[in-house]
Structure 1
């Protein structure tokens, strides 16, 4: 279930967008954006805070705090409803299109009376947008891609949102009398980046109490289907959840079947047929006699087919069956292998938590080391200066050792400029323990320009990690069009790690890119890019993505001991 913080964040961000659409006070819109982000990243549940507690959150003033209390008390916010009322519903639909933006949406409505995605597509087809100020062929291309992203996402939601729902339901159903086992399956268990619906499996002798229980959960908004073997509900957030109850002795076969993927299951069933078996969600049977052979655990089913247990993240029919038959499956990285996070932010730039709070939260996760990497000055809106970063370094050195067994590293996230240049000269960069370098702008350069830009960053002796390499935002922004095979080769050659950004909106690199990069011998860093303490647990999603890319802990630099990591970060530089 979404945290109250996330609900409030979405509402305040919507209001900021509505203010922008109507040409309202830009300062006011920015104030609500900042407050939205701060509340979304706040560690404490805002529904449990009073006015004083809300005012303690950075960027939340008295007026906004009172509005938050109004929403938490009544479930509505008058100013948002008033703003919605003066803006046509069609315009509000248009602003959901990635890469369009509120101002352009309003212009389309006012000048061309466009109030739906279909009308916008017709206008682009008829080239009606090109006479509008700020529009052109490139704008049309971007909008078309934004519509494609939106349509591709459909009703799918991000991995973390689906996980929140699934884990809450699993916890609730596990307490029902008669429930012997309960877990989630499907694409969520395989850690896919977006989820269409959630599959919940229960082992129980009687299905009735479980089927009834899920229909009565607070999260249930609608019962789609109610049966003895399967019940489907729609949650208050619009996500479909399918519950299936199996006999305990069919658990392993059922878990394998409902985890998928479909292509993986077909391969497994082909092997079963070759052995003259029949495999279903109820077990592995002799095809001729119908006698059950095994079904209680996945391990037993796989073993009877001559296979080792295959981790769910690999079950995509990308060679895992052949590797299993050859006993060549990788020993996948686990979240417990991660020794530290190498890309995080504080409120010195665009984070919402203090350095002290971020360090304390990292220590509570049991890390051996932790890096603070606030933005460098070329992202002008962050207002970084030499003096600010040096003062932070001094404070980091003071805090180092305060948390026993955790070493602090002082780094920065550099901006890779249009020509591949980065913030600060070499002598200044030499003072950092590590430098992450990322593309944050000029996404529409040519393929050659973007490629050269990334290659130059890889070749910089001070750049240890390329952050969120493709820059994609899932369902919102496509990745940049660079020759990533050339980038992968350069990373391997220059000892530059590629980041697997664990934020659920990024998961960048994605699993397919990881598989390609791995063939070049690239090393990786699984980082959260945390901007608040609540982002640090996103590490699990980065590790899940790394698993889908077949990575072991040897492939990932932040599983290494600190001394080995430091050698890598130096990239051959002396000292």
Structure 2
């Protein structure tokens, strides 16, 4: 279930949307939007705060604090309920479409009677939006694209949502005396950018106790299937959770099997078959001589052998699978740990994030499997924000949280003036620099870097002249607008930013928002070449709504010799924990610590950050 902060943040954001839909004052909607971000990102559990404590949260005044108190007292906010009643549910559904704001959603309802996503699609097909003010051909194209994005997301959720649920379930089951081991598996363990169904694996000699405990959790709204070794439930948020319980002695084999991916498991099973072994969720077994010829043919041709299921069954089923016992096979060889399973078929242990059949089997065989970057390798965060711009926590709190994480260095990179709604000025930025320098005296073991997130304008220029930029320790430059430029324009825009001697990192390079905004149409190969040539790093933005660059981009960029920065883009103290998702994405892109500049010692990092300021030197 969502944290109390996120529950309240979502309600306040909904209230802001409802105010906008019903024609309320724009400033009122903005006030609640800011409060929603502040509450969701607050480091303390807001359910434990009284009205006075809530008012200490940035952007939370008396009225908003009263609504939060009301929610925790009654389970609802009366004003939200009142506005909900005024608006058809379908109109709120329309606001989930990327590119369609609340006012236009209400206009579609008032002017054309459109009250659902399907209604809108039918209206587009029938040409019924023509003549409606603000809905020209380009808007219609954007709406179709937004509907496609919405439907592609389907029932999948971002990594942070899946992780929070998984950790709650794992913690509840691990607390049972009958549970010997428990963890999440499937696409979440592989850190895929979105997750459909959640796979939980447990080891126990008394599986029924665990099944009963799962179905009794308060987050469960429906029991889909209930058995002795597998139970599937649906949560109150609509996500399916599949729990599988195996004997403790089968733990390693089961973890390897249910982690997947399907393609990776097919490869490992093929290797086992060639050694006259059978690999399943119960272990690695010898195969009786009479079955060997048939099994080899079945696995290598993709056809099931007599009495067996197909060799390429999915490790992430969308339907509850039938329960089955251990396979009829020969002697058990190994099963207790993943390491021994891989070792027995002649491979080193392969990190879960690499198990996508993208060359990891071959790399493991020839000894070139990368030693992927880990969270422990990260020495600092190079892209974060404070409440000076659109962050929700003051600089003192962000720096204190960075120090608590044990970082060697930490950069504050608030927005620059060309992102006009942030109202940045030269004077504000210089004052922040002085405050940061003063704050550094409190943290002798943490080097504080003063930076900025620049805006790459449509021509590739950035905020501030060179002499002002020279005063920053680090400059991240990002695209924040004009996403619909041509491919050539967008490519030249990013390349010019790379060529700026003061730009160190290109932030969230494709500008995508998962499920809400497609990546910009840019020739990334040209950008990779520019980064490699100019000594500019590309960001792996760890925000679970971005994960930008993604794993496939990283695989391609790495071949050009590009360096990367794994940053959180944190706008609140809690967002610093997003680092795990950025590191997971970096691992999926086969990045090592040497590829990531914020794993480097400060001296080497500073050399890289000097970039072209003194002859374009590279580390």
- Asked if these proteins are the same fold (TM beyond 0.5), I'd say yes
Normalized against structure 1, the TM-score is what?
A: 0.99
Asked if residue 267 in structure 1 is aligned to residue 267 in structure 2, the reply is: yes
Specify which of 515, 521, 539 is matched with residue 555 of structure 2. 515
Corresponding residue of 2:160: 160
Corresponding residue of 1:547: 587
Shift of 1:212: 1.1
Segment drifting more, 398-407 vs 49-58: 398-407
RMSD (CA atoms): 1.1
Q: How many residues align?
A: 575
Specify which of 584, 591, 597 is matched with residue 557 of structure 1. 597
Shift of 1:415: 0.5
Shift of 1:222: 2.1
Asked if residue 208 in structure 1 is aligned to residue 208 in structure 2, the reply is: yes
CA contact (8 A) 2:539 2:548 kept: yes
Equivalent positions of 1:98-137 (< 5 A) are: 98-137=98-137
Corresponding residue of 1:303: 343
Corresponding residue of 1:436: 476
Distance 1:500 1:6 in 2: 24
What's the secondary structure of 1:308's corresponding residue? Answer: coil
Distance 1:92 1:356 in 2: 38
What's the secondary structure of 1:68's corresponding residue? Answer: helix
Shift of 1:120: 1.2
Corresponding residue of 2:298: none
Distance 2:441 2:524 in 1: 39
CA contact (8 A) 1:377 1:423 kept: yes
Shift of 1:425: 0.3
Structure 1 alignment gaps of length 5 or more? none
Shift of 1:139: 1.2
Specify which of 501, 507, 517 is matched with residue 461 of structure 1. 501
Asked if residue 405 in structure 1 is aligned to residue 445 in structure 2, the reply is: yes
What's the secondary structure of 1:414's corresponding residue? Answer: strand
What's the secondary structure of 1:436's corresponding residue? Answer: strand
Segment drifting more, 46-55 vs 22-31: 22-31
CA contact (8 A) 2:166 2:184 kept: yes
Distance 1:124 1:272 in 2: 54
Distance 2:564 2:425 in 1: 29
Distance 1:96 1:371 in 2: 34
Specify which of 315, 319, 344 is matched with residue 384 of structure 2. 344
Corresponding residue of 2:25: 25
Corresponding residue of 2:427: 387
Distance 2:553 2:484 in 1: 20
What's the secondary structure of 2:613's corresponding residue? Answer: coil
Shift of 1:113: 1.3
Equivalent positions of 1:155-554 (< 5 A) are: 155-288=155-288, 290-554=330-594
Corresponding residue of 2:319: none
What's the secondary structure of 2:71's corresponding residue? Answer: helix
Structure 2 alignment gaps of length 5 or more? 290-329
Shift of 1:440: 0.5
Question: Which consecutive aligned stretches of 4+ in structure 1 deviate over 4 angstroms post-superposition?
Answer: none
Distance 1:109 1:446 in 2: 33
CA contact (8 A) 2:502 2:612 kept: no
Shift of 1:286: 1.2
**1:488-510 CA deviation, whole Å, 9 max, x = no partner?**
11111110000000011111111
Distance 1:224 1:53 in 2: 42
Shift of 1:236: 2.3
Shift of 1:82: 1.1
Corresponding residue of 2:148: 148
Shift of 1:574: 2.8
CA contact (8 A) 2:534 2:612 kept: no
CA contact (8 A) 1:70 1:77 kept: yes
Shift of 1:219: 2.2
Distance 1:556 1:320 in 2: 20
CA contact (8 A) 1:401 1:407 kept: no
Corresponding residue of 2:85: 85
